[in-house]
Amino acid sequence: LSLIELVKNMPKAELHIHIEGSLEPELIFALAQRNGVELNYPSIEALRAAYAFTNLQSFLDIYYAGASVLLTEQDFYDMTRAYLERAHADNILHTELFFDPQTHTARGVEFGVVVNGIQRALRDAHAEWGMTGGLIMCFLRHLSEEEAFLTLEQALPYREHILGIGLDSSERGHPPEKFARVFARCKELGFHLVAHAGEEGPPAYIETALDLLQVERIDHGVRCTDDPVLMQRLALQAIPLTVCPLSNIKLCVFETMAQHNILTLLDAGLVVTVNSDDPAYFGGYMNDNLVALVKALPVQRHHARQLARNSFNAAFIDHNLKQKYL
């Protein structure tokens, strides 16, 4: 088996996928038509051509515009179903989906519409393929802590469907400490905690996410290599990093894949995982990310096996399920 075949076929978990980032241009146009929503792009091709990003914010502006076509529970179901079919094809056995409720509730879409649509697709995937998964609700960090508290209130009736809490959107200028109190409340309520940190922002945001938000995993975290002491801590404490290679290239975190630091992180013993982030916008799903790494970097078989093991070890699943997957 070639290394490319090995990474494609190996069973794996995905832990960093924004479900709104799986919305392909074709589905954006289909939902816009179904819902009578006006788009600022004349065609699917014109929309796809706008996917030339220079940094995180240039992506987020288009990503939030794309999500504006989502109105009904069926829309959220169809989007999630399409992602889960792709995930199943990539031999993903377990997937933890981020969703951004504030992007939808701000447009008058009810919280329950969002969760019920996504949840129904996860339930079907479990029934059909035995795929397991869960939802991680993200607070938008460019909004206030007060708005995050309001969102948490809206989530409480659906808490059985929510595995954890995350923090995403514009990183620079919105440090983790802005959300310290709402994360403390989420911890009291028993949610798992994660946060985006060290994607574009400094390594100090990784430290404050750990110390002040008490997160269990760091999303991205690739900028930790700027701080050797922090890197050593991440290795010693076995804090998983959910790394997203194609995302990092598209958002210019690294200039080329050959310059990506993922093997440095793996070889230093960090619990690194590979993920797709926003696959419809960044040019690939899980296996596309793994193949891109294999093509650009001296990935060895032991690296590939470690990435798969890490994905299950870092997942929010109980001991029995972990044993089954490992």
Residue 88 is encoded by which pair of tokens? 């199943």
Shortest reach from residue 278's CB to Zn ion, in Å:
7
Report the C-alpha gap between 289 and 89 in whole angstroms: 14
The beta-strand segments (E) located in the chain are 12-18, 92-99, 132-140, 162-168, 192-197, 217-220, 241-243, 272-274
Is residue 118 within 8 Å of 80, Cβ to Cβ? Answer: yes
Build a one-symbol-per-residue string for 159-198: x at contacts with ligand ADE by CB under 6 A, - elsewhere: ---------xx--------------------------x--
199 binds, among ligand ADE, Zn ion, none (CB under 5 to 8 A by kind): ligand ADE
The beta-strand segments (E) located in 48-143 are 92-99, 132-140
Is residue 195 within 8 Å of 213, Cβ to Cβ? Answer: yes
283-293 in b/e burial notation, b at 16+ Cβ within 10 A? bbbbbbbbbbb
List 14, 24, 73, 199, catalytic entry: 199
Q: Which residue is nearest to Zn ion (CB)?
A: 277
* Residue 142, marked binder: no
Name which position in 8, 12, 18, 250 contacts ligand ADE (CB under 6 A).
18
Gyration radius of the chain over CA positions: 18
Instruction: Give one word for 219, left, alpha or beta, with left for phi > 0 and alpha for psi -120 to 50.
Output: beta
In the complex with Zn ion, the residue whose CB is nearer, 22 or 71, is 22
Shortest reach from residue 321's CB to ligand ADE, in Å:
27
Q: At what angle do helices 111-129 and 73-89 cross, to 10 degrees?
A: 30
Report the C-alpha gap between 22 and 278 in whole angstroms: 6
310 binds ligand ADE (CB under 6 A): no
96 binds ligand ADE (CB under 6 A): no
Shortest reach from residue 278's CB to ligand ADE, in Å:
5
217 binds ligand ADE (CB under 6 A): no
Instruction: Please list every residue from 259 through 318 that binds Zn ion, using CB under 5 A.
Output: 277
Nearest 5 degrees, angle CA 142-CA 79-CA 167? 25
In the complex with ligand ADE, the residue whose CB is nearer, 56 or 193, is 56
56 binds, among Zn ion, ligand ADE, none (CB under 5 to 8 A by kind): ligand ADE
23 binds ligand ADE (CB under 6 A): no
Build a one-symbol-per-residue string for 122-151: x at contacts with Zn ion by CB under 5 A, - elsewhere: ------------------------------
Instruction: Please list every residue from 197 through 216 that binds ligand ADE, using CB under 6 A.
Output: 199
92 binds ligand ADE (CB under 6 A): no
Half-sphere exposure for 138 (CA within 13 Å, toward CB)? 24
The question of whether 26 is a catalytic residue gets the answer: no
Annotated binding site for substrate: 278
Catalytic residues: 199
- Which residues are annotated binding-site positions for Zn(2+)? 16, 18, 196, 277
